Structure 1
């Protein structure tokens, strides 16, 4: 599975870690439910109803957000896709796992910095050093233009 994630899917390192963490949580959970050691689990032990219980456990018992729950579900779906690509006899199992719906999450309210907070942030860089002046200028630019970081990183001297 690790080779699949790294070489075939070319997933980012943080995604790889997230998938690893999902397995670290899921497998012991399933193992306890089916009363089998983790190393003796079969793919069918990861039944859709158990996956749903796992996802509920994340939210209710571990206090995870809906976004974290959905992220863990994405990792489980990726595992199902991996299994199906290696063992076509398990396509039905894969389809059941991949049909588990993500949960809708209310968008986080956008909070803006108060003037005092922005002034405190602008006071942090040491403007006596070249780096401090550059950081201060960048913060002022981002604040004054309301530019997104992606927009600021694509900015060229000609644009100024």
Structure 2
């Protein structure tokens, strides 16, 4: 059995060397991996009585990992998507461990062959211009929250930023704001990659008014909650859910859609695609590392066109190296 201190070192090297140095992952991604390990340690403690300082490689075998997946579903009520993400994080560590500690290859290989849960393919939701106008109509710009919400919606629908990217935007990231024809915004994406996206004239002009009225300038974060603290992912999701309910009365088609903050990103991609923008430019716009990621929008667009065609019918046819921390939890909390 691998000595516990060796296991501790393996985990720390995985985070510090593999994730942060070699792969240069963003802070949000590293945090997701960290949370997976914290949950796994909680699972070992509560379900098997294994204290964090006693965890060894044997506790990463197929039986334990499979049990963890069941624990997430049955005890924590996690979705299959969440379980898949947690399992993927553990498998990433196991692949690293296979390189660093080949003496445990039998244990590791058995855990690596655990299959991912099959998920129903979710329907990709898009927001039409009429639906977007209905969202904007729900924002009372006479209030700070309403003004902020309108700014949030405009940036989401204009730029297609991820929520994590939206929340990290500062006033200083906006370029040429008072030259609305050339205004743009600097975005820090996955893997600490930076890109610049142009802004509509209407978006730029609204940012001018909103930031002036809310006294946002310099290096200030653009989005704050009602308590003056940085807005969170859950805060954005909550506001989108609330605005969706209100906007549905004006745009009934929203009642049939499950709109999330990411739906705005899908919508930007589709708007660009249907406007004739080539797929490589869309990939750069959205910050995709591979055009293959962007290809799904072409497939989705084709599906939409096919459904439209089928609704009309087919003519003539009626059918169709260092000292590790003593406690693994101390290390994870420090990340």
What range describes the TM-score normalised by the shorter chain of this pair?
0.7 to 0.9
Q: 1:3 aligns with which of 5, 12, 16?
A: 16
Q: Match for residue 203 of structure 2?
A: 135
Distance of 1:87 and 1:50 partners within structure 2:
19
Residue 16 of structure 1: how far off its partner (Å): 1.0
- Determine if the alignment matches structure 1 residue 15 to structure 2 residue 29: yes
Q: Distance in 2 between matches of 1:31 and 1:48?
A: 17
Q: Secondary structure at the residue paired with 1:147?
A: helix
Residue number in structure 2 paired with 1:34? 48
2:282 paired residue number: 151
Structure 2's unaligned 5+ residue stretches are: 1-13, 138-149, 155-177, 184-199, 206-263, 274-278, 286-335
Query: Which residue in the other structure is 1:70 paired with?
Result: 84
In 2 relative to 1, CA 33–136 (structure 1 residues): closer, same or farther, beyond 3 Å?
Answer: same
Give the aligned length.
148
Matched position secondary structure for 2:84: helix
Structure 1 contact 44–93 (Cα < 8 Å) conserved: yes
Distance between the aligned counterparts of 1:46 and 1:58, measured in 2? 16
Give the 5 Å matches for 1:64-143. 64-113=78-127, 116-121=130-135, 123=137, 124=150, 130=180, 133-135=201-203
Partner deviation per Cα, 1:42-65 (whole Å, 9 max, x = no partner): 110222112112111212222221
Q: Deviations over 1:40-98 (max 9, x none)?
A: 11110222112112111212222221111111011111111222222110111111111
Range with bigger deviation, 1-10 or 51-60: 1-10
Match of residue 62 from structure 2: 48
* 1:32/1:113 CA distance change after superposition, 3 Å: same
5+ unaligned residues in a row in structure 1: which ranges? 155-160
Contact 1:31–1:38 (CA<8 Å) still a contact in 2?
A: yes
Please state how far the C-alpha of 1:152 moved relative to its aligned partner: 8.3
User: TM-score when scaled to structure 1?
Assistant: 0.74
Alpha-carbon distance change, 98 to 24 in structure 1, aligned in 2, over 3 angstroms: same
64-73 vs 106-115, which moves further:
106-115
Report the CA distance shift for 1:118/1:8 in structure 2 as closer, same or farther (over 3 A): closer
**1 or 2, which has the higher helix percentage?**
1
